[in-house]
Amino acid sequence: MRKISLCAILCVCGITTAISQFLSAKIKIDIDRKIGDIDRNLFGNFTEHLGRCIYGGIYDPASPQANADGFRNDVIKATKALGVSIVRWPGGNFSSGYHWMDGIGPLSGRPRRKDLAWGDIETNKVGTDEFLKFARASGVTPYICVNLGTGTWDEARNWVEYCNAPAGLFFSDLRAKNGHREPYGVKYWGLGNEMDGSWQMGHRDADSYSKFALEAAKLMKWSDDSIKLIASGSSDYGDGWINWNRTILTNMHDAIDYISLHHYSGNYHNDYYQFMNSTLFVESVIRITEGLINEVRTRFSMQKPIYIAFDEYNVWYRAGSAEKLEEHYNMEDALVVALYLNTFIRHANVVKMANLAQLVNVIAPMMITDDKLWVQTIYFPLQLFENNCKGYAIDALVQSDTYDTKDNKQVPYLDVSSSFDETTRLITINVINKNESKPIRTSIINQSGHLEDDATVYELNSQSVKDENSAGNEKIRTNQQELKINGDNFDYTFPPHSFTMIKLRLIQKLP
Ligand code: AHR
């Protein structure tokens, strides 16, 4: 992208650097430039049997916060306020050693086992019926990941029968006996977790995983042909990741509805701009996988779509397994989470599900300390996107000053996505100003229809990118302001290292 800064022009003319404090940009939005419908499943989350996510997180019968089923009311309330649409369970790496029949029936009969993924003792107090109760109480769609590590085809298909078949079969009768006569109708099923990773129990090469998973898929769909299946795509971005996805798509294209992708980011070298670049790679992975989907659909003359389920993403680099993955998030981490969300919106035509890993305590937007729930910095961009980005994604034109890092040249400071909801006529413009120290004065131009004068601005910012919230001090939170605009072009200045969502409304057209 060509640099357009006023500074560059003035510096060439020999004018002093005082004026170079100003950076500038332009954003044009046009609701006719539709990328794709924004699937509500983009605003998903994930709960794994790991550390304090399930036990001491969503489930804690001893807590004064617990409901009659042992689930915490404060977590349920915060999950609803966040706007979470779908929750993946029971893992993660945990799922590759999990035998679901351990987690059904009377609690007293459930075995204690060592979970080899994380080294914890699994009491099996939360199993299928409990998780589905939590999902119902929180108003989220359940998404179950089956064990294709140490598990069998039979276990996978019996689990579908347990959840979804009408009473009258062995496993559905077992469900009825366990207190739930009506089928749960679990629609989304993952075919294993991160099977490309050598760390995974039952890791296989792409060919053997896809052949094994294809048989599981066949039996699961024969048990309930309405379910949607998600194949295990790339999580390990070594040399072979493209081949992994191509093999999975080639061998399984008829059987699957989604291919999953996972990615975590970290500020490994305390280099702010390098950290801000981490989602450039995510964007490339999405583009390449979309290309592979198109290749396979063309080769096999497919009508059926295959989508991407980005079913694990987050910032995660400080807390290792010993600390049970309890990250404390700061302002720059919140910006990276907003960058992930912008990336998913910009690819809303093909990314139809995304799940932040995870919901509570473990690499999570909400934490429980001394039995009180508090929210981390990353809670706020998630909440803004989940509650406001509806309808379809718009392809916004962005011209902005750029920066260079060792690995990436000419990266625009402004990262932008945009959405339009035809029902409410609300437009969102979602902007991360990656510049650490300078505001960016931006000319915003609406090119289709006319804007109402009243707009709302939500901003997430803090003095330092290292600022974070803690149990007694939620100092970073969304700041909301009303904005008066006049006409279809207006200027807005995005503060340094900030995330801003501008909510505009198009005037209702007269019939
Ligand atoms: O979310 C934590 C872990 O990260 C998951 O168990 C695994 O799938 C991934 O490697």
What mean pLDDT comes out for the span 393-406?
A: 96
Q: Which residues pair with 228 in a beta bridge?
A: 188
What mean pLDDT comes out for the span 109-127?
A: 97
- For residue 478, give Cα distances in angstroms to 381, 414, 431, 435: 8, 19, 14, 19
Q: Which token pair is 15? A: 């004018």
Q: Which token pair is 334? A: 């919140």
Q: Which residues form the catalytic set?
A: 194, 312
What does the pLDDT read at residue 508? 74
Q: Which token pair is 417? A: 């996505």
- Under the banding of pLDDT at 50, 70 and 90, the label for residue 208 is very high
Q: Which token pair is 465? A: 């990118």
The set of long-range contacts for 364-367, using a CB threshold of 8 Å and a minimum separation of 24, is 364/53, 364/57, 364/327, 365/82, 365/329, 366/75, 366/78, 366/82, 367/326, 367/471
The residue assigned the tokens 């000419």 is: 410
Least confident of 4-8, 159-163, 194-198, 336-340: 4-8
Backbone angles phi, psi at 106, to 5 degrees: -55, 135
Least confident of 89-93, 282-286, 455-459, 504-508: 504-508
Question: What is the SS3 assignment for 472?
Answer: coil
pLDDT exceeds 70 at position 12 = no
Cα–Cα–Cα angle for 24, 26, 27, nearest 5°?
Answer: 140
Distance CA 175, CA 129 (A): 8
- For residue 346, give Cα distances in angstroms to 37, 193, 245: 11, 26, 21
Which of the four CATH numbers 3.30.960.10, 3.30.1050.10, 3.40.50.2300, 3.20.20.80 does domain 37-391 have? 3.20.20.80
What mean pLDDT comes out for the span 216-224?
A: 98
What does the pLDDT read at residue 10? 37
Q: Residue of the nearest CA to atom 3 in ligand 1?
A: 92
What does the pLDDT read at residue 262? 98
DSSP labels for 255-298?
A: T-SEEEEEEEE--TTS-HHHHHTHHHHHHHHHHHHHHHHHHHHH
Does ligand 1 lie within 6 Å of residue 336's CB atom? no
Backbone angles phi, psi at 422, to 5 degrees: -65, -30
pLDDT exceeds 50 at position 211 = yes
Does ligand 1 lie within 6 Å of residue 115's CB atom? no
Is there a common fold for 6-30+396-509 and 37-391? no
Number of alpha helices (DSSP H) and beta strands (DSSP E) in the chain = 11, 25
Q: How far is the CA of 16 from the centre of ligand 1 (A)?
A: 51
Does ligand 1 lie within 6 Å of residue 327's CB atom? no
Does ligand 1 lie within 6 Å of residue 361's CB atom? no
Distance CA 80, CA 312 (A): 20
Burial (CB < 10 A; 0-12, 13-18, 19+), residue 113, is middle
- 479: how many CB neighbours lie within 10 A of its CB? 13
Q: How far is the CA of 365 from the centre of ligand 1 (A)?
A: 16
Cα–Cα–Cα angle for 70, 376, 263, nearest 5°?
Answer: 95
Q: Rounded mean pLDDT of the chain?
A: 94
What mean pLDDT comes out for the span 205-230?
A: 98
Are the C-beta atoms of 442 and 493 separated by less than 8 Å?
A: yes
**Cis bond upstream, residue 358 (ω within 30):** yes
What mean pLDDT comes out for the span 442-466?
A: 97
Mutate to test the pocket of ligand 1, among 93, 260, 264 (most ligand atoms within 8 A of CB): 93
Q: Residue of the nearest CA to atom 4 in ligand 1?
A: 92
Q: Which of ligand 1's atoms lies nearest the C-alpha of 193?
A: 8
Distance CA 414, CA 25 (A): 8
pLDDT exceeds 50 at position 8 = no
Task: Report the amino acid identity of residue 295.
Answer: E
Q: How far is the CA of 93 from the centre of ligand 1 (A)?
A: 6
What does the pLDDT read at residue 136? 98
Q: Taking the domains of the chain in order of start, what are their residue ranges?
A: 6-30+396-509, 37-391
Q: Which token pair is 210? A: 């896809």
349-379 tens-digit pLDDT:
999 999 999 999 999 999 999 999 999 999 9
Share of the chain above pLDDT 70, in %: 95
Distance CA 227, CA 145 (A): 13
What mean pLDDT comes out for the span 384-405?
A: 97
Does ligand 1 lie within 6 Å of residue 357's CB atom? yes
pLDDT exceeds 60 at position 467 = yes
* Ranges assigned E (strand) in 21-72: 23-29, 34-37, 44-46
Distance CA 441, CA 492 (A): 6
Handedness of CA 60, 64, 70, 73 (dihedral sign): negative
pLDDT exceeds 80 at position 18 = no
Task: Report the amino acid identity of residue 356.
Answer: L
Cα–Cα–Cα angle for 438, 440, 444, nearest 5°?
Answer: 170
**Cis bond upstream, residue 166 (ω within 30):** no
Closest CA to 365 of 86, 57, 59: 57
- For residue 134, give Cα distances in angstroms to 67, 69, 131, 173: 10, 8, 5, 22
Fold of 6-30+396-509: Immunoglobulin-like (2.60.40)
The residue assigned the tokens 């459930």 is: 110
Distance CA 231, CA 141 (A): 19
- Under the banding of pLDDT at 50, 70 and 90, the label for residue 11 is very low
Task: Report the amino acid identity of residue 352.
Answer: K
Handedness of CA 127, 130, 135, 136 (dihedral sign): positive
Share of the chain above pLDDT 90, in %: 94
What does the pLDDT read at residue 511? 54
323-342 tens-digit pLDDT:
689 999 999 999 999 999 99
Which DSSP symbol is given to 388?
H
Q: Which of ligand 1's atoms lies nearest the C-alpha of 91?
A: 6
Are the C-beta atoms of 383 and 334 separated by less than 8 Å?
A: no
Q: Which of ligand 1's atoms lies nearest the C-alpha of 197?
A: 10
Which DSSP symbol is given to 485?
-
Q: Residue 307: enclosing H or E segment and its boundaries?
A: strand 307-315
Q: Which token pair is 43? A: 């605003």
Q: Residue of the nearest CA to atom 1 in ligand 1?
A: 357
Question: What is the SS3 assignment for 489?
Answer: strand
Distance CA 78, CA 48 (A): 18
